[in-house]
Structure 1
Amino acid sequence: MNRSTVVLVHGAFADATSTWNTIAGVLIQRGHPVVAVANPLRGLHHDAEYLRAVLATIPGPITLVGHSYGGAVITEAATGVDQVSALVYIAAFAPDEGESAGQLDEKFGGRAQQISQARPLPGPAPLHGPPHIELSIVAAHYRDAFAPDTDPETAAVLAATQRPLALAAMLEPAGPPAWKTLPSYFAISTRDQMIPTDGQRNMAERMDAITIDLDAGHASPLSHPHPIADLISTASAA
C-alpha cells in the first residue's frame, strides 16, 4: 500500500517555509512523503484551482493539511479529488458552501480587519468584484495577534517576510465543501485572536471533526509542531 503523501497548505500573512519547516521535518523523519505548497493567496477559486493542479501530480492517497486561510483552500480544492483521503485543519477556516472567509472572520470576531493594511495591486482593476487590493498585517500587531508564542525577534522577521493576501481571497464564497465527504481533523488553538477559539470549535463540530486542543495562538505550527505532526500522522493512518 502506498504511504499517504502529506500536502501542507499555508495561510495568509505567512509562507510555506515559516509555517511548515519543523512539521515537515518531523513527518519526513517518520517516513511520510511531504509537499509544502506555495499558496498563491490571490483568490479562493484561483488558489483552489492551483492546489488542485498540484494534487493531480501526486499519485496515491493524500492527507491534505491547511492552516488559517489555507483551510478554506483545502476545503474547496479537495472536493471531487479521489486521491485525497483526509483533511486536517490547523487553526483554520472551514467554510460551508456559500460562505466566505471574510464572513466567518466577521461572525467569529477575528482581528484581521482591525490590524491589516491595504495596498493596491498592479494591473487594471476588474469591472466586477472586490477592490483590487491586497492585505498584510501591520508589523506592530503581528506578534500579539498572529504569533504570540514566538519571541520578539522571530515575530519581527515573520512580519517582515509575510506574504499579503488579496482581498478577493477573503470575499469569494466557497463552493461545495470537501469536509462533507471526507474524514476531518482539527487542531484548535485556545488562545487564537485571528480565528477565535469558539469559531474554530463551531466549524469543527459541524464537520464532525476529530479534534485536539492546543494552548497556542494562531501560529500554532510554529509553537506546537509535534502534536500537530501527531494529528497529521493519525489522519494519514486512518
Structure 2
Amino acid sequence: MTLAPTIVLVHGAFADASSWHPVIERLLADGHRVAAPPVAGRSLTADADAVRGFVERIDGPVLLAGHSYGGAVITVAGTADNVIGLVYVSGYALEEGESLGQLQGGFPDSALAAHLLYTPAPAEPGTEPGTDVWVDPATFPEIFAAGVDPRTAQALAVSQRPLSAAAFGEPATVAAWKTRPGWGIVSAADHTINPEVERFGYRRAALRSVVEIDAPHLVMHTHPAEVAAVLTGALAELS
C-alpha cells in the first residue's frame, strides 16, 4: 500500500508552528496528512538539519512548505530522499552559498528593517554570547501581522520567538530546488520581506508556478484557503 504524501509546514522567524493553524485546519478537514515541526531559529544549518531529520522519520513522501525564513530552511532540508516537492510561501529561495543577508541586500529594505530589536542571546558554556533579533512588539501588528485580527496580532507580538542574528549571514549549503519541483506564493502587500525578493528567488529557482496574492506577510492567516489550494494543487501535480 502506497502512503499518501504528508504536507510538512515549516514556520518562519518571529513565529512558531501555530502560524500555520488556519491552513492546517483546512488541510486536515480535507483528509490530508499534515505535520508542522518547531524551528529553533538558532542557525540555518542546524534548523535545516532538524527539519530534515523530522522529514526523514516520516513514512512516505513529503511535500515540504516553508514560510518566510522557513523558505531558507526548506531550501537546505529539502534534499531529504522522501521530499517530492517544495512550496515557498512568502519565502526565501536561496541559492547554494547564499545567505539571507546577501539575497535581501540586492533589494531595497522592507519596512521591517527599521523595526527590529537586538538583544544579547544566552550563550552555551564555553562560547561567546550571540545576538537575538526580534520585531518591536509595538509595531509587530502593523509590520509583521498586518491584516490579522488586532487581538491575534497583539498575542503574536508578545509570543514571538527570536531569530539568531548569525542566521542572517549563514550561507545555504545546498539548494534543493535544483533537484525538486517547486511552487511559490508571493505576498504582494508584504511589509516584512520585499516582495521583489520573493519574486526574484522564485524566478531563479524556475518554480513550476507562482501565485501572487494581494496579501501581507502572514498570508496563511489572511488567505488560508488560497494557501491550502496551492499546497493541494502541488500534490495533484505530483500524483
With normalisation by structure 1, the TM-score equals: 0.93
Match for residue 230 of structure 2? 231
Following superposition of structure 1 onto structure 2, how do residues 156-195 of structure 1 map, counting pairs within 5 Å?
A: 156-195=154-193
Instruction: Note the C-alpha offset of 1:114.
Output: 1.8
Q: Check conservation: 1:105, 1:112, Cα contact below 8 A.
A: no
Determine if the alignment matches structure 1 residue 155 to structure 2 residue 156. no
Give the counterpart letter for 1:214 in structure 2: I
Match for residue 6 of structure 1? 7
Distance in 2, Cα, partners of 1:147 & 1:38: 20
Match for residue 56 of structure 1? 56
Instruction: Note the C-alpha offset of 1:159.
Output: 0.3
Give the counterpart letter for 2:226 in structure 1: P
3-state SS of the aligned residue for 1:139?
coil
Match for residue 136 of structure 2? 138
Q: Check conservation: 1:86, 1:184, Cα contact below 8 A.
A: yes
Distance in 2, Cα, partners of 1:152 & 1:141: 12
Structure 2 residues without counterparts, runs of 5 or longer: none
Distance in 2, Cα, partners of 1:98 & 1:115: 28
Between stretches 207-216 and 100-109, larger displacement belongs to 100-109
Q: CA RMSD in A?
A: 1.4
Match for residue 75 of structure 1? 75
Distance in 2, Cα, partners of 1:112 & 1:44: 20
3-state SS of the aligned residue for 1:70?
helix
Instruction: Note the C-alpha offset of 1:113.
Output: 3.2
Match for residue 198 of structure 2? 200
Match for residue 91 of structure 1? 90
Instruction: Note the C-alpha offset of 1:172.
Output: 0.4
Distance in 1, Cα, partners of 2:111 & 2:192: 5
Q: Check conservation: 2:112, 2:144, Cα contact below 8 A.
A: no
3-state SS of the aligned residue for 1:208?
coil
Q: Percent identical across equivalent pairs?
A: 39
Instruction: Note the C-alpha offset of 1:126.
Output: 4.2
3-state SS of the aligned residue for 2:86?
strand
Distance in 1, Cα, partners of 2:103 & 2:196: 12
Between stretches 155-164 and 99-108, larger displacement belongs to 99-108
3-state SS of the aligned residue for 1:94?
coil
Give per-residue Cα distances to partners, 1:16-54, cap 9 Å, x unaligned: 01x111111111111111101111111100101111110
Count of aligned positions: 233
